[in-house]
Structure 1
Amino acid sequence: MLYPSIDVLMNKLDSKYTLVTVAAKRAREMQEINDEQIAKPVSHKFVGKALEEINEGLLNYQRAEK
């Protein structure tokens, strides 16, 4: 089972595409420089840790103006 759940995460961002994009970018960043913003993450994988950071409100996203 996914933690945090997709329903909770969808309240944080506007679409599933945005969720995947933000989580993937943050996971790559964590893999390269190994910085975690959560002290005791539930997940052992980088994508899971990124999703937890989104759930905690530690990652912000602003859509670029056209």
Structure 2
Amino acid sequence: MVSHDMRTPLNGIIGFQNLARDEPNLRSEMQSFLDDAHHASNHLLTVINNLLDTSQIKLGKLALQLKVAS
């Protein structure tokens, strides 16, 4: 499945970023680099999820439920 092939490697990258960000002796410059990479990775994961949802909607495999919102 394409969604699994796209999400799994990215989740691995995000997981390793989290481990690196938790390192107690990390220089502030390196922390900043990791924070930027983590933000970009999460943004990319959101884009991938949205693209996959859109393709499922177009194929008629995902039903939308309309609800009233304030």
Report if TM-score (shorter chain) is over 0.5. no
Task: Give the structure-2-normalised TM-score.
Answer: 0.32
Higher RCO (C-alpha 8 Å, min separation 6)? 1
The structure whose Rg is larger is 2
**Larger fraction in helix:** 2
